[in-house]
Amino acid sequence: MQNQLKIKVAGIHLAGPNSTKTTLVIMTGHLGEGNLKIAGIYDRMGTINKLFSDDRLYDVLRSEAPDRVMIDSPLTVPPCVACTRASCPGVNACDDIAVAYMQKLVETQSGKKKKKPMNPQTQRIWDVKEWYEWHPSLQEPTYSANKAPLVVRSITLQRRLRSLEEPIQLFETSIPHALSSFVEQLELPPELGYQYRAFGIGREQRQKLVRGLMKAGVVDGHMMGEVTASVETFSAFIAAIMAGLELKDKVSRPENAFFTDQGWVFLPELEGGSPPEQPVIN
């Protein structure tokens, strides 16, 4: 028997506040049927006159009222950034649970090849937990010089969305990590996981990724030309797919509420459990 619960999901590719590259993709479909299709693309969402980019995102999300929203930017900050202590005892003497847990994670991985020292000023628990699982190119810290402005922007947007009569919660993913997972799980050529941004061949590689998702029954391929036209639209498209997979319980999940509070990056698990009978939607 087919599941007739129709869902609406949104994916956000967040760019800098002064950039015009922020993009929002809306998708609709029936939960459990793998037929998510594009319902709307909002690209080049920069500031116009006195209307800030954040205002434009807020207005569209308020109007669309999606059941899930996935964003490709961190929604929490590292322990040292969140710290409100009047004085700092240093990392080794810190009594913060998150810092202690991060140190313990590093110690338990001592037998593996060491990469860089753990730094609670730039890394969250998820960063350290996944440290040894990914290629070095995917290990940019949460609060790096490139990402810190985006973190502030995404957290501010989340606060705005909480002011709605029916608040919208943002969920976090990482496009490079998600694509790496898709490539592995769908047994696609490994280079598709990073060449989607490549000059000259990027669009062709993005189209190959979409065809792989179509073959797996994740999406129906509607408007493939539009969603693969730019890296930004494609990134928002992948984020929207992740929102749909989260509703279907086809994503990696935190082990406990502590991990959730510290920040969790949802990634695809296409062979995961069955979707909940009554998924919680906005």
Q: CB–CB of 28/11 below 8 Å?
A: no
Q: Give the mean pLDDT of the chain.
A: 90
What are 92-127's pLDDT values in tens digits? 999 999 999 999 888 877 555 555 678 999 999 999
Instruction: Tell me the whole-structure pTM to 2 decimals.
Output: 0.91
Amino acid at 11: G
pLDDT tens for residues 197-239? Answer: 999 999 999 999 999 999 998 998 889 999 999 999 999 999 9
* Vertex 34 angle, CA 24 and 179, to 5°: 55
Residue 279 has pLDDT above 50, yes or no: no
- DSSP letters spanning 30-56: ETTTT-BEEEEEE-----BTTB-HHHH
| pLDDT above 50 (res 17) | yes
DSSP string, 50-116: TB-HHHHHHHHHHHH--SEEEESS-SS--HHHH---SS---TTT---HHHHHHHHHHHHTTTSPP-S
pLDDT of 108 reads: 78
Tokens of 200: 């000259």
Question: For residue 32, is pLDDT > 90?
Answer: no
Read off the pLDDT of residues 117-164 as tens digits, 9 standing for 90 and up: 789 999 999 999 998 889 888 989 999 999 999 999 999 999 999 999
Distance CA 158, CA 167 (A): 9
- Please give the pLDDT value at position 280: 44
